[in-house]
Structure 1
Amino acid sequence: MCGFFGISSNDLEAISESKFQNQRLYLRGPDANGVKTNSEGTLKVVHHRLSILDLSNLANQPMINETDNSKWIAFNGEIYNHEDLRDKLLKKGVKFKTTSDTEVLLKGLCLEKEKFIEKISGPFAFAFVDEKRKEILIARDSSGEKPLFFNECEYGISFGSDLIQVSKAFCNNPKLSISSAHEYFLYGSPRFPHTIFNNVNQVLPGNYLYISLEKHSIKKESIFFSYERSSFNKNLSNSKYLTSKLKKTLFKSIKQQSTCDREVALLLSGGIDSSIVAAISASTLSKVNTYTVNFRDHNCQQDIINARLISNYFSTNHTEIDIEEANPIFFEKIIKKIDLPITDPSLIPSSLIFENLSRDFTVALSGDGADELFGGYNHYQYLSFIKIFKIILKKLPKLREDFIVKNFSPSLRGRNWLGIPGRNLEKDPLLVRQILLNDEIQNLFLKEFKYQKRINPFTSFFNESIISNALKLDFYDYMSAIVLQKTDRASMLNSVEARSPFLDKEVMDFSLKLEDKMLVDCFSRKKLLNNLADEIIPINIRKLQKKKFGFSFSTNKLFRKKVWYEYALNTFNDAKFPINKKQLIKILEKNLIGENYGQILYSSIMLIKWMNVNDLSFL
C-alpha cells in the first residue's frame, strides 16, 4: 500500500534532508506523500501513499487524530476487517471523517493502544506516535507480509519500510554483516531478527516495539502472535465438515480482500491454491481478472494450460504474459530497485508479472501462505514416512558435516536428508532448504571468519510433532523471510499491492487448530485444500494439477545458456568484496556440464550485483 521512514534523534536538525528522500519509497506510494515532525523537533516521519481505500486527500498520511493532534500515524498495509472494527468503534462514540482503514487503525490505537493490534486482520507495518506519552508504537503483521526495519545507535533510532534507507540514516557508508552473509548462503536469508546490514534489525512478524522519544531508543518489545500448532481441537476430525468450514473462511477472506476502491486482479499459476482463489472469486465478484506468465523456453507449459482451463471455466478476463527468455538486463533492472538481496529466483517472473499487471491494476490476489499453513510441500510427506521410523533413525550414528561435504556434492538433490540419522527431530528439525553447509560457505569467502550460530527466536522451541515443526520452520524461515519479501518487493516496487487470502487472520487461526493428519500423511499432502479443490474445480482440470511448476523457472538451465553463463562469469570476475572467484567459476563450469548449482549461482550473483549497485562492503 505505502512506505514510510522516520528518525528520532536529538540531532534531527543536523540530519540531511536527502536522508528522507528515496525513490524506492516513492515507488511504494506514488499517489501522495506527506511529512510530519513532532512539536519538540526530535522526530520526523515521511510517508508515501498508494491509495486503495478512500482515494481522497483526507486519507493521506501521516494522518493526525483531529480530536487530539498529539497522536498520529504512518501506516503501510491494509486492514481487511476495517468495516467491522469501524462499527465497533462507532458504538463507543468514536467519530470518523474518512472511509479509510488508516483512520480506523489510528482511532483504535488511540483508544486501546497495543491491545487493538490483536483485532486487526491484514498485512501491516505502522508507526503510531503519541507525543504526550513521548513514545512511538511500531508493529508488524503476524506473517511478515510488510517490511519494517529499525536501526538503533548512539545518535538515535531510525525505522521504516526500506532497509537501505534505514541503514543510512546516521551514516553514508553502512557495513554489511559477514555473519548475515553466511546465513544468506546457509538458509537463504539472515536469521531473524538480523538483516544483511550490521546492527540493523527487522521487527519480528507478530511483534511490536515501543520507542522512547526522550531516549530515542527501544523501551519495550512484545509479541502478539506466534505460529503454534500445539493446541489441537481433537473434535475437528471430520474431513467433510472441515472442508466446508475452510470454504466459508476463505470465501469471507477473499470477499474482504477484494473490497477496495480499485479493480482487483488475481495471479493464476495453474496450481490448486490460485485456482481455489479464482473459483471463489468468480462466485463473489462480477468480473475476475487473471494473470499468468509464460516462459516459452522453460518447463511450465502444463501450468499455462491449467491456467487457461481455469480461466475458461470460470469466465475470467485472462492475460498471459509471454516471455521468450529471462535476460540479465531485466535482472539488473530489478536489482537497482530492491533494498535487500533476495535468494528466491521467482523474483524475476514475479517482477515481470507485476510490471505488466501494474498498467491496469493496483491490487492483486495471490496464493502465498497456502503451502505453509496447509502442508503443501513434498518434504512433509517424506517426514510422515520418517516419523514411523524416527526411533530407529535416532539411534543410528550421525554423519559428520565434514564427511558429507567431502563425499556428497551440494548439487546432489536431497543431500540435506543425510542429516536425518542420529537426529532428534522433535528438538532439532531438519533444515531441508539449506543451500550450503558451513564449511562450504567458509570456502566462498576469502576472509578469516568463524561463524557463530545465531538462534532464531521463532524456532527455538518445538513440540513432539516433526510435521508441525517443519511447518513452523517453513512459515518463518522460508515464507516470512524469503517468499513474502520477494512478493512485497516485486509488487510494491511496481506500485501494486499483493494480497494473500490464505494469510487472513481467520484462515490462519483455522489452520493452527488442525492436527497433522488433517493436513498431510504418507500418501498425500495439502489434504483439506485438495478436498476443497475437488469440490469446486472440474475433475478434468484437477487431474492435470497433480504437478505444478509455478511462477518460476530452472536456474540450473538458466546458467547453461550462453548469455547467462557469460553474465555470471563477468559478475564473479568483477566482484568487489573478498569472495572466492575461482570457486564460483568452478561451480559455474560444473553447472554447465549438467550438475545442478543454479541456486548457489543465482544467490551469489544476486549478492554481488546488489552490493556493487549500492556501493556496499562488509565490516
Structure 2
Amino acid sequence: MCGIVGFVSQKTGKKEIVTDMMDMIRHRGPNSSGDYTDEDVALGFRRLSIIDLEGGSQPIFNEDGTKVIIFNGEIYNFQPIREELIAKGHVFTTHADTEVLLHGYEEYGTAILDKVRGMFAFAIWDTEKKELFGARDFFGIKPYYYAEMNGTFMFGSEIKSFLKHPDFKKELNEKAIKPYMTFQYSALDETFFKNVYRIPEGHYFTYKDGKLDIQQYWDPKFKEKDISLEKTVDKIDDVVIDAIKTHQISDVKVGSFLSSGVDSSYVTAVLRPDHSFSIGFGDRSYNESHEAKALSEKLGLNNTSKVVTGEEAFEYFPLIQYHLDEPDSNPSCVPLYFLSKLASKDVTVVLSGEGADELFAGYQAYGFNSSSKAVRVFAEGLKKLPKGMRFSLSRGIKKMPNFKGKMHLYSSLAPAEDFFIGQAEVFGEQEADEYLTEPYRKSETVKEIVDKQYRKVQDATEIKKMQYLDIHQWMPKDILLKADKLSMANSIELRVPFLDKEVMSVAEEVPSKYLLNDKNTKYAFRQAAHRHLPAEWANREKLGFPVPIKDWLRDEIYYKQVREMFSQDFVSQFFNQEKIIQLLDDNFNEKNNERRKIWTIYTFLVWYDVFFIREDLPQPEIRTNFASMEEIPVG
C-alpha cells in the first residue's frame, strides 16, 4: 500500500530531513506523500492509493488532533470494526482502513491488535503523552526497521530511508556475513547495517523518554486436534476461500501471480481474476509459465507471461539488491522482480501463494526426501514408535554408510533440532570459515540462531517444530521480505491470503499425519486445492521459481561478469580471494557444481558494492527496455 518513515528527536530541520527520507522510498507510494512534524517527532508517508482513493491520504488525526498515524498495509476487516467504533462515538473523517487503527487504539489500546485481520506496519504519535506506539503484523508481511543513533530514534519501511538522516551512521554489521553464508539471507535480529534492527513479526513497541519497549502480542499456538481427513479438508478449503475473498477488498484492479505450483494455482482458481501473470527463462526446464498458461486456459482466465533473459537479469541485479536493503541470494528474487514489473502494467494489487508451505508443511525438507514409495511407507510406520526409541534409531541411522532412503529415514525419525535449520543451507559453518577472512568469522552460531525458536515449541511434533522455525526465520527474513520489497519496487501491492490469522487458526489444528505422510507433502491442503484444480496441479511437486544460474555461471559472458566482481580490490577484505575465484573457475570448467555458493558470494558483493562502494545509489527510475522481452505464445 505505502511506505512510512519517521524519527523522534529534539533537533531542528525535521521537515527537510523527513522529506529526504520519504524520497528514498517514493517507489512504495508514487501517488502522493504527507508528513507531520512537531518539536519532538517527524512522520512521513508515501501513498499507493488502493482504498478510499480520494480521502485516504496520511497522516491522519483523531478528533481532537492529539494523536496522528502513519500506516503501511491493509486491514481486511476494517469495515465492521469501523461500525463498532462509530457506535461508540468515534468520528471518522475518511473511509480508509488506516483510521480504524487510530480510533481503535484510542478505544482499546494495544488490544486493537487482537481485533484486526491484515498486514501492517504503523506508528501512532500521542502529542500529549509524547509517546510513539507502533506494531508489525502477525507474520511480518510488512517490513519494519528501527535504529537508535546520536540521540535519534528512527523507524521505517525500508533501511535505505535512514541513509538520508544526518544522525544515521552507515556501518557494515560484521557479524551478519557468516550466518548469511549458511542461510542465504540476513539471519540475525540485527541487520547487515550495524545497529539497525527489525521490529519482530507479531510484536508492538512503545518509545517514550528515550526508552524503547518491544512486546509480543501474537504467536502461532499449535494445538493439533484429532479430526478426520474429510473434516480437515473442509476446514482448509472453507477458510482459504474466505481468506481469498477477504483479500480482494480494493478500489483498484486485483490480479494474481501464477506459477506451475499448487499454491498460486489454488489462489488463482478461487479468485478468478481478470489478470494473472507468469514469468519464465526461455528453456522449458526453467519456465513454469508454460504450465501456468495451460492452467489459465483450462480455467478460462487471461494470463500474461514473459521471458527474462540472462542479460536482463544481470543488468537489473544491482537494482534488485538495492531494493532488498540487505543481501538475499535466493535465486527467486530475480523472477519475482520481473514478475512484479510485468504485473504493474495492468494492476495495482496482486494475490500470491506465499505461506502455504510453512502453514501446511509443503517442503520436502520436513521429511519427504525419498522418491521410493516403499521407503516412505516404512518411515511412516517407524514414526509410530515411542519418541525415545525414534530418536535413538535416528542416531544409529546417521552413523551408517550412505544407502538409498537414508536421509528420508533419518529426517523422519530425528529431533528437528538435530538436523533442520530451515529451507536453505548453502555453506556449512566450518566451510564458511575457510572462505571468509578472520574478522568475519565471528557471529552467533547456526544452532544459537535456530534454538531461539525451538525452545518455544519443545512439546510440539517434529513437523510443527520445523514449521514454527520457518514461520519465524525463513519466512519473514527471506520469503516475505523479497515479496514486499520487490513488489513495492514496482509500485504494486502483493497480498498473501494464506498468511491470514484465520487460516493459521485452522493450520494450527491440522494433525501432523495430514500435513506430511508417505503420499505427499502438504497432503490435506492439496486435497482442498483439488476441489478447484485438476489433479495434475494439486499434486505437482514444488519447484519454487526455477532460475538458470547453473547455465549463467557456465556461460562465458556471465562467468566473466562474476569473475570481474570477484577480482575487485575490496573483495579481499571479506574473502580469501584466490579461493573464491578458484571456486568460480572450477564451476565454469565443470569440475564442481557449486552454483549456489558462488551466487551467495556474488550477491553479497553486489549488495556491498551498491551500498558501500558506489558514490551514487541505483535509481529506481532506471529501466532497461522491458518491452523487448519475448512474449511466450499461448499453448
TM over 0.5: yes
Q: Which amino acid aligns with 1:570?
A: E
For residues 539-566 of structure 1, the C-alpha deviation after alignment (integer angstroms, 9 at most, x for no partner) is 4x448x5234343314223211222211
Q: 2:215 aligns with which of 214, 222, 240?
A: 222
Q: Does 1:334 align with 2:320?
A: yes
Q: CA deviation at 1:310?
A: 1.9
Kept in 2: contact 1:299–1:549 (CA 8 A): no
Q: 2:308 aligns with which of 290, 307, 323?
A: 323
Q: 1:450 aligns with which of 442, 448, 453?
A: 442
Q: 2:52 aligns with which of 46, 51, 54?
A: 54
Task: Flag the 1:358–1:197 CA change in 2: closer, same or farther, 3 A.
Answer: same
Q: Does 1:360 align with 2:346?
A: yes
Identity of aligned residues (%): 27
| Secondary structure at the counterpart of residue 354 of structure 1 | helix
Q: Which amino acid aligns with 2:603?
A: M
Task: Flag the 1:135–1:208 CA change in 2: closer, same or farther, 3 A.
Answer: same
| Secondary structure at the counterpart of residue 238 of structure 2 | helix
**Match of 1:402?**
none
Q: Describe how 1:274-313 pairs up with structure 2 within 5 A.
A: 274-282=264-272, 287-297=273-283, 299-301=285-287, 303-313=288-298
Task: Flag the 1:15–1:254 CA change in 2: closer, same or farther, 3 A.
Answer: closer
Question: C-alpha distance in 2, partners of 1:13/1:263?
Answer: 39
**Match of 2:185?**
189
Q: Which moved more, 1:387-396 or 1:522-531?
A: 387-396
Q: CA deviation at 1:492?
A: 0.3
| Secondary structure at the counterpart of residue 330 of structure 2 | coil
**Match of 2:155?**
159
Question: C-alpha distance in 2, partners of 1:394/1:334?
Answer: 42
**Match of 1:502?**
498
Q: Describe how 1:586-601 pairs up with structure 2 within 5 A.
A: 586-592=582-588, 593=590, 595-601=592-598
Q: CA deviation at 1:419?
A: 13
Question: C-alpha distance in 1, partners of 2:609/2:560?
Answer: 18
Q: Describe how 1:95-134 pairs up with structure 2 within 5 A.
A: 95-134=91-130
Q: Describe how 1:503-522 pairs up with structure 2 within 5 A.
A: 503-522=499-518
Q: How many residues get paired?
A: 588
**Match of 2:299?**
314
| Secondary structure at the counterpart of residue 53 of structure 1 | coil
Kept in 1: contact 2:21–2:162 (CA 8 A): no
Q: CA deviation at 1:136?
A: 0.8
**Match of 1:403?**
none
- Unpaired runs of at least 5, structure 1: 400-406
Q: 1:376 aligns with which of 362, 373, 378?
A: 362
Question: C-alpha distance in 2, partners of 1:30/1:596?
Answer: 43
Task: Flag the 1:558–1:377 CA change in 2: closer, same or farther, 3 A.
Answer: same
Task: Flag the 1:521–1:551 CA change in 2: closer, same or farther, 3 A.
Answer: same
For residues 458-481 of structure 1, the C-alpha deviation after alignment (integer angstroms, 9 at most, x for no partner) is 443332421111111222221111
Q: CA deviation at 1:332?
A: 2.7
Q: Which amino acid aligns with 2:474?
A: Y
| Secondary structure at the counterpart of residue 150 of structure 1 | strand
Q: CA deviation at 1:323?
A: 2.6
**Match of 1:271?**
261
For residues 131-186 of structure 1, the C-alpha deviation after alignment (integer angstroms, 9 at most, x for no partner) is 21221111111111111001023412111111133366354651111211111112
- Unpaired runs of at least 5, structure 2: 370-375, 384-388, 615-635
**Match of 1:440?**
431
Task: Flag the 1:114–1:291 CA change in 2: closer, same or farther, 3 A.
Answer: same
Task: Flag the 1:575–1:312 CA change in 2: closer, same or farther, 3 A.
Answer: farther
Q: CA deviation at 1:455?
A: 4.0
Kept in 2: contact 1:254–1:281 (CA 8 A): yes
Kept in 1: contact 2:248–2:254 (CA 8 A): yes
| Secondary structure at the counterpart of residue 72 of structure 1 | strand
Question: C-alpha distance in 1, partners of 2:19/2:91?
Answer: 36
The alignment's TM-score, normalised by the length of structure 2, stands at: 0.86
**Match of 2:549?**
555
Q: Which amino acid aligns with 1:29?
A: G
Task: Flag the 1:424–1:549 CA change in 2: closer, same or farther, 3 A.
Answer: closer
For residues 69-120 of structure 1, the C-alpha deviation after alignment (integer angstroms, 9 at most, x for no partner) is 1101110111111112222222322232221111111111121121101211
RMSD: 2.9
Q: Which amino acid aligns with 1:376?
A: G
Task: Flag the 1:497–1:315 CA change in 2: closer, same or farther, 3 A.
Answer: same
Question: C-alpha distance in 2, partners of 1:298/1:519?
Answer: 30
Question: C-alpha distance in 2, partners of 1:568/1:512?
Answer: 44
